[in-house]
């Protein structure tokens, strides 16, 4: 990577230029197929498409072979589906109004989790959510859904009034509150959903890559007393990889839960 | 070594900035989850509602940390 | 950080091809989940629930049948018990009736026997009285004939004389009894 030597030089330790520090331009890889056209693909898009294909294949076969008495794998998949349905959708929205959103939230949860897990799968090593557009599209879906729910359940004006001018607040406060709320429902909610997911993927990848790059550097390229650090960073890399697996599921859960919460806010108070 | 060289700081200040920016949301998120656990322990029957509010607050507070993350890239 | 190869802001600026492929992926995934995956599993869940519920219903029916049979059996037992008690009571009352009847009949027989005995005693007494009267009359006549001689040969005189004599005796005894 360009600029690595200068970056490392500033730390005061005279490290060799071979220390491959992961950079954010790993998330902006060059186009490799159909370059220049609107259908160009870079590495991350490739990972995304392959992940999609594998996911559809695996889940498709599972669903096609689904039996009344589940096997081990089918049991696991069913557990996931029921977890999304009961612990995310029904927990937040209740069974009555949650029913129509179960497919959407299940799609979000499973897709985001599988895409996130690509970050720790060897040879992919890059989350399929690691360009900003994919999380953004998921967030836009949620955005569209909660506005649709608001317009259908309350009407646009009633919804805006309730959100921008909530009752029980002194009138002068509205001057600050209304714009803030407007920004919240229009921008912050979808943006925070998308950026949270994206940032977690970027940071996770950088940390894992950094650990293994340091291991590579300490153990192989600088053969001296620094080898001890290499063992340390290798262990760190393993731990961080496991942590990434956890974060992959956690972020999927948070995304799905927050989507439910936002959609639920568009409905009137508990009926 | 002159004074200017001594006091020179090189490298990315945005990393330091993000570190600072993460303190507030870190505390905030901690408080939110802690209070949610406390509230649920006191009134378990309101668990669902508390959890909804908890995630809402978490989303808002987390956004500050995310802003810090973006700001590191934008203001350089 | 001027040396950094790319500008970090670029992370947040979408590329056309990225948008295209992301949208394609999203639509494909959503269609897959909405149209195939979830309905399939929902059907499985529903079928399973139906089967479990069917099993439970069957078990409940069997239980109900068993309960009904038990109830029927107990009812029968109860009626039998009641019948037995009734029969016992009937028998008891009948027995007491029989005893009472027998007692009444025995008393009546006893009374009858007593009455008959009384009657026969009375008739024997009467007979004895009549025969005594005849004998005493004959004796007295004979006696009187011997005393009076053959003055009293005529039977008619004899009889009237005897009657007046007995009347006198009767009057005497009645007067004495008074």
Q: What is the pLDDT of residue A7?
A: 39
Query: Could you tell me the pLDDT band of residue A204, with boundaries at 50, 70 and 90?
Result: confident
Q: What is the pLDDT of residue A138?
A: 95
Q: How far is CA A155 from the centre of its chain?
A: 31
Chain B CB contacts of C9 below 8 Å: 73-74
* Count of C-beta atoms within a 10 Å radius of residue B61: 19
Q: What is the pLDDT of residue B42?
A: 95
Per-residue tokens: A118: 């690509």
pLDDT greater than 50 at residue A13: no
Mean predicted lDDT score pLDDT of chain B: 84
In sequence order, which residues have a C-beta less than 8 Å from that of residue C28 and are 6 or more positions away?
A52, A56
Query: Could you tell me the pLDDT band of residue A61, with boundaries at 50, 70 and 90?
Result: very high
The C-alpha atoms of residue B63 and residue B67 are separated, in whole angstroms, by 6
Largest CA distance in chain B: 68
CATH number at residue B56: 1.20.20.10
Q: What is the pLDDT of residue A10?
A: 39
pLDDT greater than 80 at residue A57: yes
pLDDT greater than 80 at residue C157: no
**Is residue A270 assigned to a domain?**
no
Say whether A188 and B62 touch across the interface (CB within 8 A): no
Check: CB of residue C4 under 8 Å from CB of residue A5: no
**Is residue A162 assigned to a domain?**
yes
Chain A CB contacts of B51 below 8 Å: 91-92
**Is residue B53 assigned to a domain?**
yes
Query: Could you tell me the pLDDT band of residue A223, with boundaries at 50, 70 and 90?
Result: low
pLDDT greater than 50 at residue A29: yes
Check: CB of residue A108 under 8 Å from CB of residue A256: yes
Chain B CB contacts of C11 below 8 Å: 73
Q: Which H or E element spans position A108? A: helix A102-117
Task: Give the lowest-confidence range in A244-248, C6-10, C125-129.
Answer: C6-10
Name the residue with tokens 């009555």.
A96
The C-alpha atoms of residue A201 and residue A138 are separated, in whole angstroms, by 15
Neighbours of chain C (3+ CB pairs under 8 A): A, B
Helical ranges in chain B per DSSP H: 3-7, 13-42, 47-74
Q: What is the pLDDT of residue A102?
A: 93
**Is residue B58 assigned to a domain?**
yes
Per-residue tokens: A77: 């998949």
**Is residue A147 assigned to a domain?**
yes
Report the gap between the CA of A8 and the closest CA in chain B (Å): 9
Q: How far is CA A229 from the centre of its chain?
A: 31
Rg (CA), chain C: 65
pLDDT greater than 70 at residue C153: no
Q: What is the pLDDT of residue A144?
A: 95
Q: What is the pLDDT of residue C64?
A: 94
**Is residue B37 assigned to a domain?**
yes
Q: What is the pLDDT of residue B12?
A: 74
What ipTM was estimated for this complex?
0.81
* Count of C-beta atoms within a 10 Å radius of residue B20: 10
Chain A CB contacts of C15 below 8 Å: 40, 131, 133
pLDDT greater than 70 at residue A1: no
The C-alpha atoms of residue C19 and residue A132 are separated, in whole angstroms, by 9
Q: If you measure CA to CA, which chain B residue comes closest to A12?
A: B10
Mutate one of A257, A264, A267 to test the B interface: name it (highest B CB count within 10 A).
Answer: A257
Give the angle C31-A153-A158 at the CA atoms, nearest 5°: 135
Per-residue tokens: A46: 């490739």
In sequence order, which residues have a C-beta less than 8 Å from that of residue B73 and are 6 or more positions away?
A24, B14, C7, C8, C9, C11, C12
Mutate one of B33, B47, B63, B76 to test the A interface: name it (highest A CB count within 10 A).
Answer: B63
Mean pLDDT of C107-126: 91
Query: Could you tell me the pLDDT band of residue C3, with boundaries at 50, 70 and 90?
Result: very low
Q: What is the pLDDT of residue C149?
A: 62
**Is residue A271 assigned to a domain?**
no
Chain C CB contacts of B74 below 8 Å: 8-9
**Nearest-CB residue to A10 (from B10, B49, B59):** B10
Domain ranges of chain C: 2-177
Say whether B72 and C8 touch across the interface (CB within 8 A): yes
What is the extent of the structural domain holding A193?
A: 4-265
- A123: Cα within 13 Å, side-chain hemisphere: 3
What is the extent of the structural domain holding B19?
A: 15-73
Say whether A92 and B48 touch across the interface (CB within 8 A): yes
**How long, in residues, is chain A?**
271
Say whether C9 and B74 touch across the interface (CB within 8 A): yes
In percent, how much of chain B has pLDDT > 70? Answer: 87
pLDDT tens-digit map of A145-169: 999 999 998 889 989 988 888 888 8
pLDDT tens-digit map of A115-148: 999 988 888 888 888 888 999 999 999 999 999 9
Closest residue by Cα to residue A189 from A231, A145, A152? A145
The number of distinct structural domains making up chain A is: 1
**Is residue A45 assigned to a domain?**
yes
* Count of C-beta atoms within a 10 Å radius of residue A154: 17
pLDDT greater than 90 at residue A231: no
Mean predicted lDDT score pLDDT of chain A: 85
Q: How far is CA B40 from the centre of its chain?
A: 23
Per-residue tokens: C174: 């009645």
**Is residue B36 assigned to a domain?**
yes
Mean pLDDT of A69-73: 88
Higher pLDDT, B13 or A77: A77
Closest residue by Cα to residue B37 from B58, B23, B63, B64? B58
Say whether C8 and B12 touch across the interface (CB within 8 A): no
Q: What is the pLDDT of residue B76?
A: 62
Task: Give the lowest-confidence range in A99-113, B54-68, C27-41.
Answer: B54-68
What is the sign of the dihedral through the CA atoms of B7, B13, B15 and B20?
positive
The C-alpha atoms of residue C21 and residue C43 are separated, in whole angstroms, by 32
Task: Give the lowest-confidence range in A152-161, A198-207, B67-76, C93-102.
Answer: B67-76
**Does residue C44 belong to the interface with chain A, where contact is any CB pair within 8 Å?**
yes
Check: CB of residue A68 under 8 Å from CB of residue C48: yes
**Nearest-CB residue to A133 (from C5, C19, C40):** C19
Phi, psi of A32 (to 5 degrees): -115, -30
The C-alpha atoms of residue A234 and residue A224 are separated, in whole angstroms, by 17
**Is residue A164 assigned to a domain?**
yes
Rg (CA), chain B: 19
The C-alpha atoms of residue A196 and residue A241 are separated, in whole angstroms, by 19
Task: Give the lowest-confidence range in A26-40, A91-105, C77-91, C142-156.
Answer: C142-156
**Global confidence as pTM:** 0.71
Higher pLDDT, A216 or B29: B29
pLDDT greater than 70 at residue C4: no
Per-residue tokens: A25: 């331009």
Choose the most confident range, by mean pLDDT, from C9-13, C56-60, C147-151: C56-60
pLDDT greater than 80 at residue C79: yes
What is the DSSP secondary-structure string of C114-174?
Answer: HHHHHHHHHHHHHHHHHHHHHHHHHHHHHHHHHHHGGGG--HHHHHHHHHHHHHHHHHHHH
Q: What is the pLDDT of residue C178?
A: 54
**Nearest-CB residue to C1 (from B70, B74, B76):** B76
**Does residue C73 belong to the interface with chain A, where contact is any CB pair within 8 Å?**
no
Q: What is the pLDDT of residue A4?
A: 40
Q: Look up residue A33 and give its DSSP letter.
A: E
Check: CB of residue A137 under 8 Å from CB of residue A112: no
Report the gap between the CA of B22 and the closest CA in chain C (Å): 19
Q: Which H or E element spans position A43? A: helix A43-64
Q: How far is CA A75 from the centre of its chain?
A: 25
Query: Could you tell me the pLDDT band of residue B7, with boundaries at 50, 70 and 90?
Result: low
């Amino acid at each position: 990577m360009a600029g690595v030597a200068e970056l490392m030089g500033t730390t005061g330790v005279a490290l060799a230029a071979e220390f491959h520090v992961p950079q954010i331009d790993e998330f902006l890889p060059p186009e490799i197929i159909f370059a220049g056209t609107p259908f160009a693909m870079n590495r991350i898009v490739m990972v995304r498409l392959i992940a999609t294909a594998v996911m559809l294949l695996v889940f498709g076969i599972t669903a096609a072979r689904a039996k009344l008495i589940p096997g081990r794998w089918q049991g696991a998949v069913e557990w996931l589906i029921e977890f999304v349905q009961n612990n995310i959708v029904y927990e937040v929205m209740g069974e009555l109004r949650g029913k129509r959103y179960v497919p959407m939230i299940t799609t979000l949860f499973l897709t985001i989790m599988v895409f996130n897990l690509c970050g720790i799968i060897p040879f992919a090593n890059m989350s399929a959510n690691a360009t900003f557009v994919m999380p953004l599209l998921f967030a836009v879906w949620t955005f569209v859904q909660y506005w649709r729910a608001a317009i259908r359940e309350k009407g646009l004006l009633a919804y805006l009034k309730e959100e921008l001018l909530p009752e029980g607040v002194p009138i002068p406060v509205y001057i600050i509150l209304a714009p803030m709320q407007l920004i919240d429902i229009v921008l912050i909610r979808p943006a925070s959903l998308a950026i949270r997911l994206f940032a977690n993927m970027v940071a996770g990848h950088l940390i894992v890559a950094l650990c293994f790059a340091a291991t590579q550097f300490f153990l192989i390229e600088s053969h001296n007393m620094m080898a001890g650090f290499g063992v340390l960073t290798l262990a760190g890399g393993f731990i961080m990889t496991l942590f990434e697996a956890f974060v992959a599921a956690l972020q999927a859960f948070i995304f799905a839960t927050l989507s439910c919460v936002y959609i639920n806010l568009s409905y009137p108070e508990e009926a | 070594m002159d004074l200017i060289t001594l006091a020179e700081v090189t490298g990315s200040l945005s990393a330091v900035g993000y570190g600072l920016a993460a303190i507030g949301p870190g505390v905030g998120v901690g408080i939110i989850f802690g209070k949610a656990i406390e509230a649920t322990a006191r009134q378990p029957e309101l668990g669902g509602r508390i959890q909804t509010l908890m995630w809402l607050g978490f989303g808002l507070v987390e956004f500050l940390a995310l802003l810090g993350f973006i700001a590191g890239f934008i203001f350089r | 950080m001027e040396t950094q190869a790319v500008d970090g802001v670029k992370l947040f600026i979408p590329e056309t091809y990225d948008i295209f492929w992301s949208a394609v992926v999203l639509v494909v995934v959503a269609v897959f989940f909405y149209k195939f995956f979830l309905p399939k599993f929902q059907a499985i869940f529903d079928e399973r629930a139906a089967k479990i519920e069917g099993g439970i219903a069957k078990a409940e029916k069997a239980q109900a049948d068993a309960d009904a049979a038990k109830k029927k059996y107990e009812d029968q037992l109860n009626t039998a018990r009641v019948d037995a008690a009734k029969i016992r009571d009937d028998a008891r009352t009948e027995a007491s009736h029989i005893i009472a009847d027998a007692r009444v009949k025995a008393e009546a027989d006893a009374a009858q026997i007593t009455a008959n005995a009384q009657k026969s005693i009375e008739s024997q007494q009467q007979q004895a009285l009549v025969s005594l009267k005849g004998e005493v009359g004959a004796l007295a006549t004979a006696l009187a004939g011997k005393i009076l001689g053959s003055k009293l040969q005529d039977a008619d005189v004899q009889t009237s004389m005897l009657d007046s004599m007995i009347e006198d005796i009767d009057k005497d005894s009645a007067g004495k009894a008074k």
